[in-house]
Amino acid sequence: MSASPMATTPHAGKVRRRFLERLKQAGVTDPRVLRAFAEVPRHLLIPEALRDRAYQETPIPIGEGQTISAPGVVASMTMALQLEGHERVLEIGTGSGYQAAILARLASEVVSIERIPRLAASARSALDRFGVTNVVVFLGDGTRGRPDLAPFDRIVVTAGGPEIPRPLLEQLSPEGMLVGPFGPRGHQKLTRVRRGPNGGFKGEVLGECDFVDLIGQNGWQR
Ligand code: SAH
């Protein structure tokens, strides 16, 4: 991806500096993560009429009743994944493609699953326009994961489910990590689960959150 899409925004420099400053204040310290946020043109992933809000700390509707999470939320999930660059990552809920584009810069390969055809298609074309080549987008029910492509070093669930889908835990590599929002609608707990080197799982709660529904066989039944 070149820096050019970002550079085409009016006042791009100032808006971007403020955006990065806010992420830093919110505790995003990893320079690789900050660089990824500086380079992905968030404004090109949201409806044109809402573009002036692109770099504010707010979720934005992307159609089909879905939203792109606020940048700070994407940043905390990204930080929680502790990526070093060599990982294979599975993302559930491609949405706009924003989180996938960030992950693409911080991991070696991203498999992303979206259940709504129109979103999967527009995310794919945006990623192509940005020149992102290490993300594959699949249409389907992400709560089943992709056993045929497992194991994954990291799994990130970007929609809120009642509980952690069991198949996803099974598709984690030894010492892999899953991050996602789980619990009742409207107030989930952002959770991180690590798989031990010899199997076994350890979970921790990172914070409270409110995501759109994870809908599927191992999520909400609509
Ligand atoms: N990561 C996205 C966030 C989008 S919101 C971004 O950066 O923009 C969550 C997305 O999860 C929505 O697009 C929704 O359609 C999708 N989703 C919900 N349940 C799903 C499931 N079972 N499988 C795949 N995608 C799902």
Q: How far apart are CA 68 and CA 126, in angstroms?
A: 14
Taking the C-alpha atoms of residue 15 and residue 147, their distance in angstroms, rounded to an integer, is: 42
Q: How far apart are CA 1 and CA 75, in angstroms?
A: 19
Place of tokens 């044109």: 48
Q: Which amino acid is at 111?
A: V
Site to probe by mutation for ligand 1, drawn from 94, 112, 141, 188 as the one with most ligand atoms within 8 Å of Cβ, is 94
Quick check: CB of 126 below 6 Å from ligand 1? no
CATH class given for the domain over 5-209: alpha beta
CA of 159 to the centre of ligand 1 (A): 5
Which residues are catalytic, by number?
69
Would you list the domain boundaries of the chain? 5-209
In this predicted structure, what is the pLDDT of residue 4? Answer: 45
Q: Consecutive sets of 10 residues in the chain, 222 residues long: mean pLDDT of each?
A: 48 84 93 95 93 93 94 96 98 98 98 98 97 98 98 98 98 98 96 94 96 97 88
For residue 43, what pLDDT is reported? 93
Q: Is the CB of 30 under 6 A from ligand 1?
A: no
Cis peptide before 162 (omega within 30 of 0): no
pLDDT for the residue numbered 113: 98
Ligand 1 contacts CB of residue 93 (under 6 A): yes
User: Sign of torsion, CA 60 222 144 146?
Assistant: negative
